Amino acid sequence: MNPHIIGIFEEEEELISALNIIRNKNIEITEVFTPYPIHEVIKIMKRKTKLQIATFLYAAFGLVLSYVFIYWTSVISYPLTYGGKPYHAIPSFIIICFVTTICVAILLSVITFFIRSRLYPGKTPTIIDHRITDNAFVILINIQPETPSDEIETINSLLMKNGAVEVIEK
């Protein structure tokens, strides 16, 4: 890992106020680790996702795919009359298309989630501090080789002043 400073907090409120202050000082925060999702953190870090758009597109794809497939099997490939219904029996295609649309959308969304988050079985995590999944809220700030030492000092004192219980420089 790059050289970095981490500030460990024990309370959500302190973390958020510290984040706001550091942001206002124009210091770039690399990442924030929390034991549970905090909306303010996501907002402050300006994190955005397009997963919902992807899901919508997957659903549209699933709908088209299932409808075309059912149309092809029932009308083109092997037309067969069931219960006097027309080959192209739209009402009875609706439900199965609905279910397969959801199936495709869920499956592809989950795959996208894992690929985008780079999560996979057996991945070795880079654990900044073993308490991040328990009770620690961690601010990670990467330090560049050219960063002046007085700026590092400022970051350290900012973290300490704003409620960090521990500041570690690595």
Residues that bind other proteins (CB under 8 A): 10, 12-13, 31-38, 41-42, 45, 47-49, 51-52, 55, 59, 69-70, 73-74, 77-78, 80, 82-83, 85, 89, 92-93, 95-96, 98-100, 102-103, 105-107, 109-110, 113-114, 116-128, 130-135
Give the Å distances, CA to CA, from 29 to 23, 104, 136: 7, 37, 17
Question: Of 47 and 157, which CB lies nearer to other proteins in the complex structure?
Answer: 47
Least Å distance, CB 169 to other proteins, is 20
Question: Of 113 and 147, which CB lies nearer to other proteins in the complex structure?
Answer: 113
Least Å distance, CB 42 to other proteins, is 5
Least Å distance, CB 48 to other proteins, is 8
Closest CA to 150 of 161, 158, 140: 158
Q: Please classify residue 144 by burial: count the beta carbons closer than 10 Å to its beta carbon, then call 0-12 exposed, 13-18 middle and 19+ buried.
A: exposed
Q: Please classify residue 119 by burial: count the beta carbons closer than 10 Å to its beta carbon, then call 0-12 exposed, 13-18 middle and 19+ buried.
A: exposed
- Three-class DSSP category at 83: coil
